[in-house]
């Protein structure tokens, strides 16, 4: 099975939100590529954050979540039509994102707390006005983009605090990680939202964001933007196997275009206990706890295995946004919808045996029609030239009708 992961997309962020009631654990992963001393993030948070509410997570956790929920390619092998039986094998799609939350921010007024956690120096600020906040940030060596002032001011009036993290170079080299690990914050607030507005002022085009929500109730959707399902469930030409990453990226581009870049896309929604087919194994209880699933504490493993449920539902949302199309922060709601959904694409390998029987003849006759169908599906999905696809598939320009007229089939004995 092939999977398409988040690394395919540039400037992508990944955020995991674990939520039950008002209790929230947010994990932010960043694939920041510059020098560590250049790294800084400014995140509006709804409450004051104590030292114990911050934790540094293992990057592998997010990679695992990504792999588990990524769009997947499933290969089917047609059985010998003379002796039918089915086998199939699934391949996960590669994961698709990096965190583009990295930006130079600058804030302004009361330093409520300073912590060093892992490789990060963290400051919690509250401010009275955006001007002071901007000044504070600038004086402390943060570069803030033009236009940030108004947005910071809006967050200040909404009583948001600011969570600012920078890399502590000494700790960073002592710990010896070659990358920056995800930061986790636990807090309690009725606000079920994700502040994206600061991310839209980095004027260089759009931002890519993957959101994994782990909750108990069911699917999560945005209330102020359309949540649209990724097209799924179709059979594709076999050659896509080698181009699956490209397929996923191009298809996503097409869907974004189709929705005028005004929608959030649902890529996966599943009960965390299982998957079918699995792009990667579900997260273990240990991993779930590390990613912040706090309601698993105190539940003995045997309870979940006998009950069959670890009571975690995952929703993976994918959004490409800029200030014009996404003026407001994302606001979410939980729904009671526990229906499973996945991005899943089939590859059907034809049977290549030599047995001869009536069924085999029939089987071989319908193959070109099937290939043509696959070519058309792909062309429709990607906006590609159908003839180029046919050429790649090595099939005829127009499907052959084997010369017979349609009516010759009707009363055939």
Partner 1 sequence: MFVVAKISIGLRLKSIESSLKSWLYDPRVYQIAVLTSLLVYGIFWLDFEIRSTQAITILITILLTQYLCTRVFKLPEYDPRSPLISGLSLCLLLRTNSLLLVGLTAFITILSKFTLRFRGKHIFNPTNFGIVLMILLTDKVWVSPGQWGNIAFFGFLIACLGGLVVNRASRSDVTYAFLGFYISLLLGRASWLGDPLHIPLHQIQSGAFLVFTFFMISDPKTTPDSRAGRVLFAFLVAAGAFVVPFVLFRTNGLLWALAFFSLSVPLIDRFLPGNRYKWSTANDYLGANQQVVNIG
The span of 9-17, 152-160, 354-362, 405-413 binding partner 1 (CB under 8 A) equals 152-160
Q: Which residues pair with 346 in a beta bridge?
A: 74, 235
| Alpha carbon distance 254, 363 (integer Å) | 34
Say whether residue 168 binds partner 1 (CB under 8 A).
no
Say whether residue 225 binds partner 1 (CB under 8 A).
yes
Can you spell out the DSSP letters for 366-397? HHHHHHHHHHHHHHHHHT--HHHHHHHHT--S
Instruction: Compute the least distance from the CB of residue 218 to partner 1, in Å.
Output: 8
Say whether residue 150 binds partner 1 (CB under 8 A).
yes
Site map 93..132 versus partner 1, x via CB under 8 A: -------------------------------------x--
Say whether residue 153 binds partner 1 (CB under 8 A).
yes
| Alpha carbon distance 371, 348 (integer Å) | 10
Instruction: Compute the least distance from the CB of residue 237 to partner 1, in Å.
Output: 26
User: Are 80 and 279 a contacting pair, CB within 8 Å?
Assistant: no
Number of other CB atoms surrounding residue 178 within 10 Å: 6
ω into residue 64 within 30 of 0, thus cis?
Answer: no
The span of 102-110, 191-199, 204-212, 373-381 binding partner 1 (CB under 8 A) equals 191-199
Number of other CB atoms surrounding residue 7 within 10 Å: 16
Q: Coil, strand or helix: which one is 29?
A: strand
The span of 28-36, 69-77, 257-265, 349-357 binding partner 1 (CB under 8 A) equals 257-265
Say whether residue 191 binds partner 1 (CB under 8 A).
yes
Residue number with CB closer to partner 1 (229 or 364): 229
Say whether residue 200 binds partner 1 (CB under 8 A).
no
Q: Contact with partner 1 (CB under 8 A): which of 116, 158, 284, 361?
A: 158
* The pair of three-digit structure tokens given for residue 2, joined into one six-digit string: 């092939």
Instruction: Compute the least distance from the CB of residue 327 to partner 1, in Å.
Output: 4
| Alpha carbon distance 148, 133 (integer Å) | 10
| Alpha carbon distance 221, 227 (integer Å) | 6
Residue number with CB closer to partner 1 (218 or 368): 218
Q: Contact with partner 1 (CB under 8 A): which of 85, 176, 204, 260?
A: 260
Instruction: Compute the least distance from the CB of residue 333 to partner 1, in Å.
Output: 5
Instruction: Compute the least distance from the CB of residue 226 to partner 1, in Å.
Output: 4
Instruction: Write down the residue that tokens 């990680």 correspond to.
Output: 177
Residue number with CB closer to partner 1 (151 or 214): 151
The span of 12-20, 236-244, 335-343, 385-393 binding partner 1 (CB under 8 A) equals 335-343
Distance of CA 136 to the CA centre of its chain: 34
Say whether residue 221 binds partner 1 (CB under 8 A).
yes
Residues 6+ apart with CB under 8 A from 66: 5, 6, 14, 95, 96, 97, 210, 212
User: What are the start-end ranges of the E strands in 21-131?
Assistant: 23-29, 40-45, 54-56, 72-77, 87-92, 110-117, 120-126
Say whether residue 365 binds partner 1 (CB under 8 A).
no
Say whether residue 262 binds partner 1 (CB under 8 A).
yes
Q: Which residues pair with 214 in a beta bridge?
A: 18, 314
The span of 85-93, 102-110, 325-333, 343-351 binding partner 1 (CB under 8 A) equals 325-333
Q: Contact with partner 1 (CB under 8 A): which of 51, 170, 338, 365?
A: 338
Residue number with CB closer to partner 1 (6 or 315): 315
Say whether residue 187 binds partner 1 (CB under 8 A).
no
User: Are 70 and 133 a contacting pair, CB within 8 Å?
Assistant: no
Q: Coil, strand or helix: which one is 166?
A: strand
Q: Contact with partner 1 (CB under 8 A): which of 84, 139, 143, 223?
A: 223
| Alpha carbon distance 363, 366 (integer Å) | 5
* The pair of three-digit structure tokens given for residue 146, joined into one six-digit string: 């033009």
Q: Contact with partner 1 (CB under 8 A): which of 56, 228, 234, 381?
A: 228
Q: Which residues bind partner 1 (CB under 8 A)?
A: 130, 150, 153-154, 157-158, 189-193, 217, 221-229, 259-260, 262-263, 327-328, 331, 333, 335-339
């Amino acid at each position: 099975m092939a999977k398409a992961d988040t690394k395919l997309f540039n400037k992508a962020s990944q955020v995991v939100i674990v939520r039950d009631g008002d209790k929230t654990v947010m994990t932010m992963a960043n694939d920041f590529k510059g020098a560590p001393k250049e790294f800084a993030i400014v995140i509006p948070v709804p409450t004051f954050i104590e030292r114990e509410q911050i934790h540094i997570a293992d990057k592998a956790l997010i990679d695992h979540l990504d792999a588990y929920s990524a769009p997947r390619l499933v290969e089917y092998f047609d059985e010998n039509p003379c002796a039918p039986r089915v086998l199939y094998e699934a391949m996960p799609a590669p994961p698709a994102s990096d965190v583009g939350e990295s930006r130079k921010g600058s804030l302004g007024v009361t330093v409520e707390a300073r912590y060093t956690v892992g490789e990060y120096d963290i400051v919690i600020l509250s401010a009275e006005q955006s001007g002071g906040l901007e000044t504070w940030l600038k004086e402390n060596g943060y570069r803030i983009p033009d236009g940030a002032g108004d947005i910071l001011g809006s967050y200040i009036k909404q009583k948001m605090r600011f969570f600012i993290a920078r890399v502590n170079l000494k700790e960073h080299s002592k710990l010896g990680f070659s990358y920056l690990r995800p930061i986790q914050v636990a807090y309690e607030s009725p606000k079920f939202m994700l502040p994206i507005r600061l991310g839209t002022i980095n004027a260089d085009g759009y931002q890519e964001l993957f959101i994994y929500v782990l909750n108990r109730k069911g699917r999560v959707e945005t209330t102020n933007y359309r949540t649209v399902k990724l097209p799924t469930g179709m059979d594709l030409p076999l050659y896509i196997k080698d181009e699956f990453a490209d397929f996923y990226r191009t298809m996503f581009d097409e869907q974004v275009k189709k929705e005028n870049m005004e929608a959030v896309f649902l890529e996966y929604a599943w009960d965390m206990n299982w998957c079918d087919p699995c792009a990667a194994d579900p997260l273990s209880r240990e991993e779930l706890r590390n990613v912040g699933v706090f309601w698993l504490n105190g539940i003995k493993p045997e309870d979940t295995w006998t009950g069959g449920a670890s009571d975690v539902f995952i929703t993976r949302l994918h959004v490409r946004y800029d200030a014009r199309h996404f003026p407001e922060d994302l606001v979410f709601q939980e729904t009671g919808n526990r229906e499973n959904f996945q991005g899943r694409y089939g590859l059907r390998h034809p049977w290549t045996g030599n047995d001869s029987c009536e069924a085999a003849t029939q089987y071989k006759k319908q193959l070109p029609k099937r290939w043509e169908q696959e070519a058309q599906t792909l062309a429709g999905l990607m906006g590609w030239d159908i003839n180029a696809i046919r050429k790649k598939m090595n099939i005829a320009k127009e499907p052959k009708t084997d010369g017979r007229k349609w009516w010759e089939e009707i009363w055939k004995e």
